[in-house]
Amino acid sequence: MPKSFIPYQKTGYFSKLIGDYLAQDSSLKQFYGKFPTLENCKEQLNEKKSSYSANSRNVLKQQLKLQYQDFETSEATQHNIESLAKDNTFTITTGHQLNLFTGPLYFLYKIFSVINLSEKLNKTYPNYHFVPVYWMATEDHDFEEINYFNFNGKKIVWDRQDGGGVGEFSTEGLQEVRQVVAKVFGTTENGKKLTSLFSEAYTEHPNLADATRYLGNELFKEYGLVIVDGNDAVLKKAFIPFAEKELDENISFKKITKTIKALLQAGYSEQVHPREINLFYVTEGIRERIIEKQEKFYVNETDLVFTKDEIFKELNRHPERFSPNALLRPLYQEVILPNICYVGGGGELAYWFQLKAYFEGVNVPFPIVLLRNSAILVPAKLSEKLKKLDVSITELFQKQHELKTNVTKKLSEVKIDFSAQKELLEAQFKDLYTLANKTDASFMGAVAAQEKKQKNGLDHLEKRLLKAQKRKLADQLDRLTQLQDSLFPGQSLQERNTNFSEFYLPYGEDLFKKLKQQLDPLSHEFSIITL
């Protein structure tokens, strides 16, 4: 299975922030800790080791065993859970929403990034043990972001009433979705496997958190992946001191606001604006912001009101009712895990770059942040079609109108470039300007106007010629744009749209084996993988 790369900066799909991070630009260095390398991971674990207690390890191990008690767990995953109690074990973590049937392809790339980095570190530092972790975003409440997946251009949707943290959503109603997927997956061996996997995950488990754990476990259990649900009353006890600071001092708001100003001054944009209190209050069917007004704490869109003493008592009695938002979730994760590296997409890393000063303010080690693997999967037949058109995969990263123009110029038997004529015209007018200097200003203006008119005329002729050649090459360009549309659905990256099932149907388990083999978490380049 051949593989090639394209620098992230040349794909056109990643921000200047990410480009500068990968280039280790000095303007960004104040916003992160250590850059992701094997050597820096060793330094990071030494820092984490001194701040993570044996009690924290034992609590984590016990709660994970409880979370997994109703699931068949591989020996590799059981071993990794047990090892978390040992002081030489550390985690490599990624987080993801509870997207229906994993959502877009990049879910797989995230998981293989943490699996492969853990394996690299285990080989490099055999005296330590590294565990790949998937943190389920069970407390998210953006149901419309996760209630579907795309399959061959069709949106397969789970319709139900919204409200509360998605992890606790009942899977009722997914039997109907199962009937839809059975039809689209078909009756081939791999199609039946996919339907069975969907059915077992979503019709045999009571809520979305359990369904997602089952699905992730089935797909990755042989690699020892450990899946964590942070919506856990016992785990949240460790977060109580930080939640108290949040309620009492608005510390995240102060620190993150200052960092955002520094990011803006450095030429980067704000990712998310912090609120004065970055906590939600959660009860059955409700997940609403906590707002302080005149020394009282209100739960938005409800009648709930607490005094300061009351909300602190509520926090200590029921820590599970307090949910960190997108800005505080990274801190909560780092408090309860022996984590040294967080793996995320470009948008996630941009969040993390706003948090370093906040972490320092609450004395929690800021982890290494690693851009997850990104890839485009190219079926061999499609690759052959591109070769016949004399077009490379990297050219398809262009916007479609640019692609059509550049390929037309490449394939045209007539040169569609009037640069030589424009240079000759400029040389002729240079002589005219010399002559104009010897007369008056009005003649100089007339020469300039004539030059502009003739240059515009050449531009117009060039566009007419390009348009004519596009008509002549229409069949080839249509085939080309169809190929681009199949690899870049909706003119966006495949990994952000396409579900893994489209590739599992023709390739089966080989898809996972090949992805694991091909994705290198420390390559820092976009992978082009021909299947």
Spatial contact of 132 and 111, defined as CB atoms under 8 Å apart? yes
Give Cβ neighbours of residue 201 (< 8 Å, ≥ 6 apart).
101, 211, 212, 214, 215, 218
Backbone φ and ψ for 139, nearest 5 degrees, come out as -95, -5
At 164, is the secondary structure helix, strand, or coil?
A: coil
Question: In 356-414, where do the E strands start and end?
Answer: 368-371, 375-378
Q: What is the pLDDT of residue 186?
A: 97
Among the residues of 149-297, which ranges form H helices?
174-185, 189-203, 208-220, 233-237, 240-249, 251-265
How many residues are present in the chain?
531
**Chain centroid to CA 167:** 20
DSSP lists the bridge partners of residue 266 as none
Side chain identity at residue 315, one-letter code: L
Buried b (16+ CB within 10 A) or exposed e, 305-324: ebeeeebbebbeeebbbbbb
Distance, in Å, from the CA atom of 323 to the CA atom of 280, rounded to the nearest integer, reads 5
- Tokens 């004395």 sit on residue: 363
Distance, in Å, from the CA atom of 81 to the CA atom of 93, rounded to the nearest integer, reads 14
Paired sense of beta strands 286-293 and 296-299, if any: antiparallel
**Chain centroid to CA 492:** 14
Per-residue confidence in pLDDT tens, the chain, 531 aa: 467 999 999 999 999 999 999 999 999 999 999 999 999 999 999 999 999 999 999 999 999 999 999 999 999 999 999 999 999 999 999 999 999 999 999 999 999 999 999 999 999 999 999 999 999 999 988 899 999 999 999 999 999 876 778 999 999 989 999 999 999 999 999 999 999 999 999 999 999 999 999 999 999 999 999 999 999 999 999 999 999 999 999 999 999 999 999 999 999 988 888 999 999 999 887 889 999 999 999 999 999 999 999 999 999 999 999 999 999 999 999 999 999 999 999 999 999 999 999 999 999 999 999 999 999 999 999 999 999 999 999 999 999 999 999 998 888 877 887 777 877 877 778 877 777 777 776 777 777 888 788 888 877 887 887 788 889 889 999 999 999 999 999 999 999 999 999 999 999 999 999 999 999 999 999 999 999
* Dihedral sign of CA atoms 242, 248, 251, 257 in order: positive
Q: What is the pLDDT of residue 157?
A: 96
Q: State the Cα angle at 434 between 454 and 442, rounded to 5°.
A: 70
Dig out the tokens for 366 from the structure. 């800021």
Neighbours of 151 (CB within 10 A): 19
DSSP lists the bridge partners of residue 292 as 297
Give Cβ neighbours of residue 232 (< 8 Å, ≥ 6 apart).
63, 67, 320
Q: Which among 111, 89, 113 is positioned nearest to 102, based on CA atoms?
A: 111
- DSSP-derived letter for residue 138 is T
Dig out the tokens for 93 from the structure. 């973590």
Distance, in Å, from the CA atom of 371 to the CA atom of 359, rounded to the nearest integer, reads 20
Side chain identity at residue 14, one-letter code: F
Q: What is the pLDDT of residue 2?
A: 61
Distance, in Å, from the CA atom of 217 to the CA atom of 232, rounded to the nearest integer, reads 19
Q: What is the pLDDT of residue 422?
A: 75
Neighbours of 457 (CB within 10 A): 12
Spatial contact of 370 and 514, defined as CB atoms under 8 Å apart? no
Percentage with pLDDT > 90 across the chain:
83
DSSP-assigned states of every residue in 12-31? SSS-HHHHHHHTT-GGGGGG
Q: Which among 359, 319, 323 is positioned nearest to 339, based on CA atoms?
A: 359
Spatial contact of 241 and 364, defined as CB atoms under 8 Å apart? no
Distance, in Å, from the CA atom of 436 to the CA atom of 510, rounded to the nearest integer, reads 74
Give Cβ neighbours of residue 291 (< 8 Å, ≥ 6 apart).
276, 277, 297, 298, 299, 300
Dig out the tokens for 45 from the structure. 């674990």
Distance, in Å, from the CA atom of 267 to the CA atom of 269, rounded to the nearest integer, reads 7
What's the first-to-final CA gap in the chain, in angstroms? 6
